[in-house]
Structure 1
Amino acid sequence: MYKSLLIFSLLLFFIQTISAQEKKEPKHFISITNANTYIPKGAGVDNLDHKGHFVPGFGIDYLYRFLPKWEVGIMADFEVGEYIIPHDEPLKRENALVLALVATYTLIPNWNVFMGGGVELEKDHNLGIFRLGTEYAFPIGQQGWAIPLGVFYDIKEGYDAWSISVGVGKAF
């Protein structure tokens, strides 16, 4: 009985030691980003004749890896500024919050493409969005830190927008 218990204990210790030595692939990635969005149909509130408008912003992204090349997550972007989309009935946007659920696919290590949908929340009128994009995460050291650089395109109700973002993120 003691011999069997000793052998079983040594076997469990051996398995645990080998498992601890295997490098575990992180499943979570969170980043804080700074973005600049270009709205081709947009105009500043002080110059309605001008076509095209840039809006600064920041965001928080969270991704969960459920397969080696696939992740799901949420991208939350806050646009800091005001602009108008001129139409028969102008659409005014001020400090909009964009929330998108996305699925990502890893093309090569550190380079993902993503797509998803969500909503742009704004005090006057909320809009549905569809997002397409890509992001490359430049690794920093061995602790899971990275600098993500992304480009994405939002198709919104009534207008579209291009964004470029850079940030800092951590895989864990």
Structure 2
Amino acid sequence: MKTIKSLFILFTCFFCFNSNLFAQEHATQTAGSEHSFKHFRASAAMYHTYINTESAEGKKYLIVPSLGFDLEYWFNEKFGLGSHNDLELISFEVEKEGHTTLEREKPLLLTMDALWKPYKGLVLLLGPGVEFEKAENLFVVRGGIEYEFELKSSHWDISPTIFYDSRRHAYDTFSFGIGVGKRF
């Protein structure tokens, strides 16, 4: 697992500090004005993560506050690759079938997602990741949808987001949140 964590850190540093390697600007004409395509996007987000637990009393949901930081590289206006990173801010326990308890202490989730923008600001994403926690690391598959509302051509955006994360042999979560992003 240490190797996977190192690869995520290396990828993030590579794209943050070597942006000149891929710095290309695409100029397009839209309604008489020139528009410059920005390949990189960074955003910060706040989420509520819903965790389904089962116990003798029945099903219940834990609601865990989370912070996210995303770095994305867009190859063109339709396809990209993103590193989406979330930190759950509290410790919690997940019960499965009333007898198995999994304790999680402020886990950090790192995913590497393929990004597709099929229509205007709508972004669909899917990719693998790892949830790091001091007791046990878990493999995760993330699927999600967000919509980027650009703020007056300033390359800033607001994006409501929904993620579904499936942790292998453990538990699944839904996250609802909102982010603020900047293209550069």
TM-score, structure 1 as length reference: 0.80
Distance verdict in 2 for CA 1:34–1:55, change over 3 Å: same
1:171 maps onto 2:180 in alignment: no
- Which residue of structure 2 aligns with residue 94 of structure 1? 105
Q: What does 1:28-47 align with in structure 2 at a 5 Å threshold?
A: 28-41=40-53
Could you report, residue by residue, the CA deviation over 1:91-143 in whole angstroms, capped at 9, with x for unpaired residues? 10111100000011002111100000110001111100000000001111221
- Which residue of structure 2 aligns with residue 147 of structure 1? 158
For 2:103 and 2:48, locate their aligned partners in 1 and report how far apart those are by CA, in whole Å. Answer: 18
Q: What does 1:89-168 align with in structure 2 at a 5 Å threshold?
A: 89-157=100-168, 158-168=170-180
- Counterpart contact for 1:69–1:105, Cα < 8 Å: yes
Larger Rg: 1
- Counterpart contact for 2:81–2:112, Cα < 8 Å: yes
Percent identity at matched positions?
32
For 1:68 and 1:142, locate their aligned partners in 2 and report how far apart those are by CA, in whole Å. Answer: 15
For 1:120 and 1:25, locate their aligned partners in 2 and report how far apart those are by CA, in whole Å. Answer: 33
Which of 37, 56, 77 is the equivalent residue of 1:68? Answer: 77
Q: Find runs of 4+ consecutive structure 1 residues off by over 3 angstroms.
A: none
- Could you tell me how far 1:50 is from its partner in structure 2? 6.7
* Aligned positions, number: 150
- Counterpart contact for 2:52–2:59, Cα < 8 Å: no
More displaced 10-residue stretch of structure 1: 141-150 or 49-58:
49-58
- Could you tell me how far 1:42 is from its partner in structure 2? 6.9
For 2:51 and 2:84, locate their aligned partners in 1 and report how far apart those are by CA, in whole Å. Answer: 19
Residue 143 of structure 1 aligns to a residue whose secondary structure is: coil
Which of 66, 73, 76 is the equivalent residue of 1:57? Answer: 66
- Counterpart contact for 1:135–1:148, Cα < 8 Å: yes
For 1:22 and 1:140, locate their aligned partners in 2 and report how far apart those are by CA, in whole Å. Answer: 17
Which ranges in structure 2 are unaligned for 5 or more consecutive residues? 1-26
Residue 146 of structure 2 aligns to a residue whose secondary structure is: strand
